[in-house]
Structure 1
Amino acid sequence: MMDDSTVQFPDAETSAKLREKFKNFIAKHHHTHMVTILSSEDTSAHYGINVDLQQLFDSDTEASQALLEQPMRLLEVFDDGARELEHEIIDVSEANSQLWFKPNVHVRLHNPPLCPELSRHMVPATGDVGQLLALSGTVIRVGRVNMLENMRTYQCDKCHSQVAVKADLEQHYLIPKPTSCYGDCKSNKFSTLPSDPGSYRDYQEIKVQEQIQKLTVGKIPRSMIVLLLDELVDTCKPGDDVTVMGVVIRRWQPVKESERANLELLLLSNHVSVHNEQKRGVVITDEMKQDYEQYWSLYKDKPLEGRNNIVASVCPQVFGLYAVKLSVLLVLIGGVQKGGGSSGNHIRGESHLLLVGDPGTAKSQFLKFSAKLMPRSVLTSGVGSTTAGLTVTAVKDGGEWQLEAGALVLADGGLCCIDELGSIRSHDKASIHEAMEQQTISVAKAGLVCKLNTRCTVLAATNPRGCYDTNESLSVNTTLASPLLSRFDLILVLLDQHNEEWDQLVSTFILRSHKDTPTDTSDKSLWVLERLQGYIIHVKTVNPVTTEPANQILSRYYQLQRQTDCYSNAGRTTVRLLESLVRLSQAHARLMMRDEVTVQDAIVAVAVMECSMQGAALLGSVDALHSSFPTNADEEYAIQEKLIMSKLGLLDS
């Protein structure tokens, strides 16, 4: 590919030939869309024609090659071809009185071939100037929509001839004044004529950042300014995953004496695709689905043993912690989202987990492993994080205010891991209340008023304030207020108590892992990271329905917790407790690849919740840190089910 500045544009004959070819292509593949555009009564609006780039490449090699060599100029030719087709459709239409010519029609190219020359997930460099490419990334900043004067008309003061000058995007939208008259008078004095309303267009600047999960380890993500014009403005917001098709151009500020020229690269967009709902990362194939079904057929008689193999694959470098690993897996899978849209009865499906524990209890290990496991994730630390770093901030760039997304917005549709949550300042902690429960962030900063989505799972960790006092409430021990604690579905307290038998098991496990080779320590029953990642994405598509027996267990347990006047759980026994139980039971049904939430799923949800409650009502004090994997999972579950059903008074029902 070549720079536009070094390539001579084809002569008038070749240009007309390419325009005719593209006009025929539009007439063949987009005739219906063209008629729809012509039927609109608004003649001043801008309209886009979405052209499949792969389809264009397959149909015409000559036009495709010219587009790759000179994209800026060929796009103008394509727009001219679309306008010619408009005239032809109006002329041959019997009901042409109902069709109006649209001068502002633009060809929008999308779906480029998956080749490194056209599709990028890294910010282009200087050598890409003038090239047409598609950049995939995350929108981190959105500017306001401004008015751009696209053209200005000058009149010669001597001969009164007129000349129209277009704005130069590379010179920061400067409209240069003619140096001399193009007529015979050669005058250098001009006056500006009143601007026509059609000479203005909408434009907006956004900043797109490379997606962290697509970069190599240790690489800092870079960002690039993208210029949106006409109907492309306001098509995305901070936190969106986008693919922008456009042309790489240069831009510099007006040159000042004795100062270096400020030169930067930006992408002049031609098409913007927002794909937040698509599953990122692992693509689930039919072979993978068959593998998962075959796995469960092997454990048809012992389903919980098969489940525990998957649970043990979570953070395998950490010994034991059965309750924590099961809780993390259930939270990552999440429940079924209800409502949404215009109905106004949105109930979140994402669960939140808080790990409270002494140093050395593997809290950060779980956060880092979970961030690797989820295709879209953001890992941050509370040390130094502010409200703006977690939610959204307004920054002033070039004299105007712009919104820049924080960790929770960037994690929309994925996982947000927050380490050292207790280190966040108190007024900053309050800012994430809405983000965790309503899954939105309402912004009113510097005159920018909007609402952003934060539909993500929050996995947080914090150390207790000093030595953990079991006689005090969780809020006192963690310095986290009850409103924030109530938003976490599970809160696991990991106390490093001196247990000689447990210390012996852990030390043996760690020393053996350092001594043996990786092949010796690997357990064949454990799942590799890619398989586990694909399984989580697959089961998230399952929407289990809750059965009446399961509902009865969850309702009875919620009522029992409400009746227990426990000071330490005052902030936990709200109606959110029942919603958390429903999400956990749905997550366990998904984990078992079931279409119904059974009694077993409800019992497991109650058992996991018991680990989260201080002074638990049914199973007594549960030590999440020293919980080991059961030797026979199905037998232990049978004992646990009988105990819980008996405590709930449902044994005979």
Structure 2
Amino acid sequence: MSELDDQLQYFQTILQYLDTSGNLSLIKAQCEKYSKTKSLVFMFKLLIDPADLCEANANLGNLLLQDSVSVSNLFQQVVYKTVTVLELLPGEVTLSQVAVILRLTHLPTFHNVNTIHSASCLTRVFDLGSFCRLKGVVIGLSALTKYTLSTRYHCLDEDCEGFHGNHYIRVHSPGASETQTVRKDFKCAFCYCTLAEDKSRRTLSERLVAEVVPDNVISLLGHESERARLQALPVYIRDDLTRLVEIGEVYEIIGRTRKDIQEDRITISVEANNIKKVKMGISTRQLLQETPRNLLKLYRDRQKSPWSFVLTLAYLFGGDICPVGSYFHLKLVLLLSLMSRLDHKTKPLHILAVGGDVEMISRLLHFGLRFLDNTTSLTAGQSVTGHVTQDKYSSASYFVEGGVLHHAQNGLCYVGDVNILKKSAQQKLQSALSGGKVVTDVGSKFTGGLPHHMEQPLRARVWGYADPTPSKKTHQVLSDELFVTCKTGDTQPAILESFNIVCFSDCADSTSSEAVQAQTMEMTLVAAMLNDLTSSLPITAFDMIQFIKFASRLRPRFELEAESLIHSYYLSSRKSRSKAGDSTDVPVNADQTILSLAYSHAKLALRNEVTMNDALMAIYIYEQYLTARFGFSNLGIQPIPHVTTELLNYCLGPENDKRMEKFHASLLRYCSLTSSLEE
């Protein structure tokens, strides 16, 4: 009687839990959908929090973690009784036609016993036979394949009761292979004859295999100073969960280990029960507490000016790499790029730096890599958009291994010198930057028919550089016609067009260039003689990293006036420059680029709204880009690559505020004059 009492108590607890957790409403909503279609199996996916279930009934909660199949059967009986009593499904539905999948929302950690940190943990967790937890980044995906979710069997004897009705419904069990789900050795319970499958009633679903690298080694992927051999863990993902997975994203996976035997090879993998996307980082409150006091003091000191704080950050950025003030415009757009993100109005800012001192530019770009957690560098032998191979798990026709753009999702990808990339790599890079999508081509030899491609949004920022000096092998001007007053060397026009901002660090004023070179040489010599790595800057690189982490979590909203000003400038630029008869118009994506610049500037300025001042600075930066491209500025703007001591007040101080106010007046007048022109 004790077992019967326990079971009745389980039923009562499950019914109460379904009601209090909101799952009962989900069941009713799902039944309404099933009432409009004719189905063999009625599948119910329930969200279960083991902690809440343990509070309701400790024995039932422990049983869920240790023997989920038994608990699923208990939930199945309760759900079946509920839908029949409430008449939510047709009366002829049998228990075998109701299938329940329990999706765990959380998993308690038992001193990391059930947490997978590496491939060596799989065997230990498999021996436990319980749920496990894995957090990591997806580095590859197999093709979507079909598997049998459910099917119907019947007896071969027409006079037997097993020939009619839905007595034998076979539903896929978590961790089971296709051969275990669909078999030919089932026997009839009435006459013990062999059962036959009714293939017309077979229901198919989708599955894929993802390769996941645990989160404790994610940081090793993008840092050249640290090398490690990483072994990816195979994870089987099924049904609606397959639509949630993208290469390069970080997920927390709850599942069970499974063992597959293929010829002479035994593979232990993870069968996903539930997955959810996670964001790396710490809380905003903790970041604010760890934000350096000297940076907060600088922020308070610059409150009188809406632009001075951000400009001062750019002035001091990378001061240990090159003298403060040098490469000022490049540093400013790099900081804005670090703040950018993919949104419905904004997108990641991709920066191409062009200058004669490529070694210094490369060091500066490498310095920027340390400000984001997820960074990758394109090196020889690596793929830009991933490549396709035969599926090593024998579950699909092919497997897609992610490229550097996949691995840098929500982070930063450094591609180096774009001119030394292979032509195919340049084309893939240009296509990804222009279209905002990472496209991996799958050839016909893998599909068995027409070739197709796999794509996902590009959420990574891309940085690169180019030498403006053409090689001796180049006998024709490739892209000087795109940028009238600036040299771009051997860089292809399509590559230049694909980057949001092309920043030229060579100054037309030879005096400024010589001053920067002299300061750089002096800085290098002093550092070599003193051999002192202590920074003398008021804001160190560590301080800047903490600030960037905090500012990047802000989500400012656009003011209507700021957005309207950006749209007016965009339309006015296209109209006026088309009127002037230039062969190249303002880029079509300029509007979104300026919105992204304004959004990033507001985050750096620690504002909750993107104001007119942010829009004004974004337009000012983009007008410098157009000046380099067309050779003139409709607003009288001249690019300032470096800020020397003589220009300090002009670029950062009160004089800069007056200059920006005059620029604002000129901008409004410019938009008003061009509003009547036809595009």
Query: What interval of TM-score do these two structures reach, taking the shorter chain for normalisation?
Result: 0.7 to 0.9
**How has the CA–CA distance of structure 1 residues 201 and 228 changed in structure 2, closer, same or farther, with 3 Å as cutoff?**
farther
SS at match of 2:102: strand
Return the offset for 1:363.
Answer: 3.1
The aligned amino acid for 1:250 is K
Q: Which residue of structure 2 lines up, in the alignment, with residue 135 of structure 1? A: 134
Distance across 1 between alignment mates of 2:30 and 2:629: 64
SS at match of 2:320: coil
For each residue in 1:375-411, what CA deviation from the matched residue of structure 2 results, as whole angstroms up to 9, or x when unmatched?
4443324x444xxx22243322136123343333443
The yes-or-no answer on 1:116 pairing with 2:131 is no
SS at match of 1:193: strand
- Does the CA contact (< 8 Å) of 1:145 and 1:234 recur in 2? no
**How has the CA–CA distance of structure 1 residues 456 and 244 changed in structure 2, closer, same or farther, with 3 Å as cutoff?**
same
Gaps of 5+ in 2: 163-167, 221-225, 673-679
Distance across 2 between alignment mates of 1:366 and 1:12: 72
**How has the CA–CA distance of structure 1 residues 600 and 249 changed in structure 2, closer, same or farther, with 3 Å as cutoff?**
closer
The aligned amino acid for 1:107 is L
**How has the CA–CA distance of structure 1 residues 103 and 630 changed in structure 2, closer, same or farther, with 3 Å as cutoff?**
farther
Distance across 2 between alignment mates of 1:290 and 1:171: 48
The yes-or-no answer on 1:580 pairing with 2:593 is yes
- Does the CA contact (< 8 Å) of 2:259 and 2:266 recur in 1? yes
Match of 2:269 among 263, 266, 275: 266
The aligned amino acid for 1:84 is Q
The yes-or-no answer on 1:635 pairing with 2:641 is no
Return the offset for 1:637.
Answer: 1.4
Q: Which residue of structure 2 lines up, in the alignment, with residue 523 of structure 1? A: 538
SS at match of 1:78: helix
Residue range with higher mean Cα deviation, 368-377 or 496-505: 496-505
Match of 2:497 among 474, 478, 486: 486
- Does the CA contact (< 8 Å) of 2:31 and 2:89 recur in 1? no
SS at match of 1:125: helix
The yes-or-no answer on 1:624 pairing with 2:641 is yes
Return the offset for 1:59.
Answer: 3.6
Q: Which residue of structure 2 lines up, in the alignment, with residue 219 of structure 1? A: 228
Q: Which residue of structure 1 lines up, in the alignment, with residue 423 of structure 2? A: 426
Residue range with higher mean Cα deviation, 218-227 or 167-176: 167-176
Q: Which residue of structure 1 lines up, in the alignment, with residue 223 of structure 2? A: none
For each residue in 1:65-88, what CA deviation from the matched residue of structure 2 results, as whole angstroms up to 9, or x when unmatched?
4444x3xxx111121111111233
Distance across 2 between alignment mates of 1:575 and 1:532: 33
Return the offset for 1:643.
Answer: 7.5
The aligned amino acid for 1:306 is F
Match of 1:206 among 191, 205, 209: 209
Distance across 1 between alignment mates of 2:547 and 2:408: 20
The aligned amino acid for 2:51 is Q
Return the offset for 1:415.
Answer: 3.1
Return the offset for 1:265.
Answer: 1.8
The yes-or-no answer on 1:103 pairing with 2:98 is yes
Equivalence map 1:266-285=2 (5 Å): 266-274=269-277, 279-285=279-285
Equivalence map 1:131-280=2 (5 Å): 131-139=130-138, 140-148=140-148, 173-175=178-180, 193-194=196-197, 202=205, 204-210=207-213, 211=215, 214-216=218-220, 217-254=226-263, 261-274=264-277, 279-280=279-280
- Does the CA contact (< 8 Å) of 1:249 and 1:267 recur in 2? yes
**How has the CA–CA distance of structure 1 residues 65 and 627 changed in structure 2, closer, same or farther, with 3 Å as cutoff?**
farther
- Does the CA contact (< 8 Å) of 1:144 and 1:204 recur in 2? yes
**How has the CA–CA distance of structure 1 residues 494 and 549 changed in structure 2, closer, same or farther, with 3 Å as cutoff?**
closer
Distance across 2 between alignment mates of 1:503 and 1:555: 40
- Does the CA contact (< 8 Å) of 1:611 and 1:623 recur in 2? no
**How has the CA–CA distance of structure 1 residues 564 and 581 changed in structure 2, closer, same or farther, with 3 Å as cutoff?**
farther
Equivalence map 1:208-607=2 (5 Å): 208-210=211-213, 211=215, 214-216=218-220, 217-254=226-263, 261-274=264-277, 279-285=279-285, 288=288, 296-312=299-315, 314-319=317-322, 320-334=326-340, 337-338=343-344, 348-358=346-356, 360-381=358-379, 383-385=380-382, 389-397=383-391, 398=394, 400-441=397-438, 445=442, 446=447, 447-448=451-452, 450-464=454-468, 466=470, 472-473=480-481, 477-495=488-506, 500-513=514-527, 515=530, 517-519=532-534, 521-524=536-539, 528-547=543-562, 573-594=586-607, 595-598=609-612, 601-603=615-617, 605-607=619-621
For each residue in 1:120-164, what CA deviation from the matched residue of structure 2 results, as whole angstroms up to 9, or x when unmatched?
56554322213412222333213222224889989999xx9x999
Q: Which residue of structure 2 lines up, in the alignment, with residue 3 of structure 1? A: none
Return the offset for 1:245.
Answer: 1.0
**How has the CA–CA distance of structure 1 residues 179 and 564 changed in structure 2, closer, same or farther, with 3 Å as cutoff?**
closer
- Does the CA contact (< 8 Å) of 2:76 and 2:98 recur in 1? yes
**How has the CA–CA distance of structure 1 residues 21 and 474 changed in structure 2, closer, same or farther, with 3 Å as cutoff?**
same
For each residue in 1:563-609, what CA deviation from the matched residue of structure 2 results, as whole angstroms up to 9, or x when unmatched?
6667xxx6574344454344324432343244244257425642464
Distance across 2 between alignment mates of 1:579 and 1:152: 54
Return the offset for 1:227.
Answer: 1.6
- Does the CA contact (< 8 Å) of 1:422 and 1:480 recur in 2? yes
The aligned amino acid for 2:465 is A
Distance across 1 between alignment mates of 2:621 and 2:131: 56
SS at match of 2:134: strand
SS at match of 2:25: helix
Distance across 2 between alignment mates of 1:168 and 1:52: 21
SS at match of 2:77: helix
Q: TM-score, normalised by structure 2?
A: 0.73
Return the offset for 1:244.
Answer: 1.9
Distance across 2 between alignment mates of 1:651 and 1:177: 76
Q: Which residue of structure 2 lines up, in the alignment, with residue 344 of structure 1? A: none
Distance across 2 between alignment mates of 1:540 and 1:597: 13
Match of 1:87 among 66, 76, 80: 80
Q: Which residue of structure 1 lines up, in the alignment, with residue 18 of structure 2? A: 26
- Does the CA contact (< 8 Å) of 1:408 and 1:456 recur in 2? yes
**How has the CA–CA distance of structure 1 residues 194 and 302 changed in structure 2, closer, same or farther, with 3 Å as cutoff?**
closer
SS at match of 1:484: helix
Distance across 2 between alignment mates of 1:652 and 1:56: 63
**How has the CA–CA distance of structure 1 residues 421 and 34 changed in structure 2, closer, same or farther, with 3 Å as cutoff?**
same
Residue range with higher mean Cα deviation, 244-253 or 414-423: 414-423
SS at match of 1:528: helix
Gaps of 5+ in 1: 1-9, 255-260, 339-346
**How has the CA–CA distance of structure 1 residues 318 and 200 changed in structure 2, closer, same or farther, with 3 Å as cutoff?**
same
- Does the CA contact (< 8 Å) of 1:90 and 1:99 recur in 2? no
- Does the CA contact (< 8 Å) of 2:149 and 2:172 recur in 1? yes
For each residue in 1:331-357, what CA deviation from the matched residue of structure 2 results, as whole angstroms up to 9, or x when unmatched?
22238844xxxxxxxx65332211123
SS at match of 1:270: strand
**How has the CA–CA distance of structure 1 residues 151 and 272 changed in structure 2, closer, same or farther, with 3 Å as cutoff?**
same
Distance across 1 between alignment mates of 2:312 and 2:88: 69
**How has the CA–CA distance of structure 1 residues 611 and 25 changed in structure 2, closer, same or farther, with 3 Å as cutoff?**
closer
